[in-house]
Amino acid sequence: MTDRKAVLEGLRDDLIERLERYRAHKEQRDGPLDKDMEEQAIELQNDEVVDALEREAEAELRHVMHAMARIEAGEGETCAVCEASIAPERLAALPFATLCRHCAEPR
Ligand SMILES: [Zn+2]
């Protein structure tokens, strides 16, 4: 399963890069407010979108790191909850899956 590890490493690097961009954007926004009200309102909306994207990327990064840790421990193909094997098709579709289809189903 070295392929899956390579895919996860690629995902991790992409996510870290994305998070760095979001954080750079937020640092810019903390500059002095010298714009008119309308521009500030647009800026605020943008920030909300960036915040949402940042939270999403952070959650995905946690999944990826978790999956990588499980692969390192030799448990990459084992469900973290019920310890059943995770179907190879599922791992191919979701390289960062750490749960079998059954345990991952929304309750
Ligand atoms: Zn399971």
Overall average pLDDT of the 3-30 stretch: 92
Helix pair angle (2-29, 37-72), 10° resolution: 160
**Ligand 1 center to 102 CA (angstroms):** 6
Residue with the bigger pLDDT between 84 and 28: it is 84
Please list all protein residues whose beta carbon sits less than 5 angstroms from ligand 1, which is an ion.
79, 81-82, 84, 100, 103
The model's pLDDT over 54-99, given as tens digits with 9 standing for 90+, comes to 999 999 999 999 999 999 999 999 999 999 999 999 999 999 999 9
85 φ/ψ angles, rounded to the nearest 5 degrees = -75, 145
> How far apart, in whole angstroms, are the C-alpha atoms of residue 54 and residue 18?
8
Residue with tokens 């059954």: 102
**Ligand 1 center to 9 CA (angstroms):** 24
**Ligand 1 center to 1 CA (angstroms):** 19
Checking if the pLDDT of 1 tops 60, the result is no
DSSP string covering the chain: -HHHHHHHHHHHHHHHHHHHHHHHHHHHHTS---S-HHHHHHHHHHHHHHHHHHHHHHHHHHHHHHHHHHHHTT-TTB-TTT-PBPPHHHHHH-TT--S-HHHHS--
